[in-house]
Amino acid sequence: MNAITAEGLVKTFGSGEKAVKAVGGVDLVVPEGTVVGLLGPNGAGKTTTVRMLTTLLAPDAGRAVVAGHDVVREPQAVRSKIGLSGQYAAVDENLTGRENLWLFGRLYQLSSKEASKRAAELLEQFNLADAADRTLKTYSGGMRRRLDLAGSLIVHPQVLFLDEPTTGLDPSSRLDLWDVIRERVAEGSTILLTTQYLEEADALADNIVVIDHGVIIAQGTADQLKAQIGGERIEVIVHEPEALGKAEQVLNVGSGGQCVRDDHTRKLTVPTHTGSKGLMQVIRDLDEAGVGIDDIALRRPTLDDVFVKLTGRHAEDDDTQAETAQGSAS
């Protein structure tokens, strides 16, 4: 049984020459009890897709069924079965944590008593009990996100949508939130998560869908995607340009001829499947060969690497290119 099925979702904003196709035909299947990570840079169409799936936005074309109900024909039924936590921590900062959760409970049509009970449970569960009766003004960014997430779990939603849940958080708050999300996963929740960070999708999702310019450009498990983009690699910057040739030879021997050489930056890149062990091997080999090193590092693939691999361009270049193209066209 699929918790989310979307076919050919399209959304265009504006009209005429200014029309921007935010989502250009997205197909998505999320089986019950799985976590799917929708990965893409800013403006890729992640949020627009989530807004269509959560009934906030009517698609121009295509259809989507969430928790057994069509998002256009039965929006109210969909809303009663989903939880949504957005990237802005949409909570009232002049209400206390308890009041916010009570408010959400009431709007999920719980009785006042049930809503109070559920608020207390969630505050306890999310380690916010001590701050329960303080207004959100006094909360840190991480606490607000946790409360926002708690608000989306009031009714044990069948499907949980998390739109960039950790964007803008400091690393320790991010790890905290990951733990909270992992607990949901362990309980068997179905989650659609959007993120700009490959490591986040990697850490939380069973399946990753890469989206760019409103179109899905790749999907698979984290391992499949990483295998596709080459996984971890070692980057070496040699001290002297003359040593590049020798170093390249050494690395090619170790990797079976997969070394990539960049003369301009004196950089050699080689894939590895053995992590830090491979890194130490490379250091030993280069040392034996008498090659001086300025810098050496083990690099994990990032969203940018995915993009370079899949589209041949950098994720960040993208916007400027698109803008230039638009500028010259108009």
Partner 1 sequence: MTTDVMPTAAAPSRVGFNQAFTDAMTITWRNIRAGWRVPDNQIYMFIQPIMFVLLFAYVFGGAINVPGVDYVDFLMAGIFVQTMAFACAPASVGLADDMQKGLIDRFRSLPMARSAVIAGRVIADLVNQFIVLVIMIVCGFIVGWTFHNGFGQFLAAVGLLMLFAFAMLWVGAFIGLSVGSPQVAASAGLIWLFPVVFMSNVFVDPSTMPAVVQAIAEWNPVSAIASGARELFGNQSLVQSDAWPMQHSVVAALLWCLLIVAVFAPLAVRKYKKAASK
- Contact footprint for partner 1 (CB under 8 A): 7-8, 10, 13, 25, 27, 51, 54-63, 72-76, 79-80, 82, 84, 86, 88, 90-92, 94-95, 99, 103-104, 106-109, 135, 151
Q: Which is nearer to partner 1, 132 or 268 (CB)?
A: 132
Secondary structure of residue 134 in the 3-state scheme = coil
Q: Environment class of residue 156 by beta-carbon count within 10 Å: exposed (0-12), middle (13-18) or buried (19+)?
A: exposed
Q: Which amino acid is at 160?
A: L
Query: For the chain, first and last CA: distance in Å?
Result: 47
Residue 125 C-beta: closest distance to partner 1, Å: 20
Residue 163 C-beta: closest distance to partner 1, Å: 10
Q: Which is nearer to partner 1, 5 or 281 (CB)?
A: 5
Residue 26 C-beta: closest distance to partner 1, Å: 10
Residue 142 C-beta: closest distance to partner 1, Å: 18
Q: Which is nearer to partner 1, 137 or 313 (CB)?
A: 137
Q: Which is nearer to partner 1, 219 or 255 (CB)?
A: 219
Q: Which is nearer to partner 1, 82 or 303 (CB)?
A: 82
- DSSP designation for 135: B
Query: Within 211-243, where are the H helices?
Result: 222-229
| 35 touches 185 (CB < 8 A) | yes
Residue 233 C-beta: closest distance to partner 1, Å: 35
Residue 173 C-beta: closest distance to partner 1, Å: 19
Q: Which is nearer to partner 1, 50 or 243 (CB)?
A: 50
Q: Which amino acid is at 150?
A: A
Q: Which residues of the chain form beta strands (DSSP E)? A: 2-13, 20-31, 35-39, 61-66, 69-70, 82-85, 159-163, 190-195, 207-212, 215-220, 233-238, 260-262, 267-271, 293-299
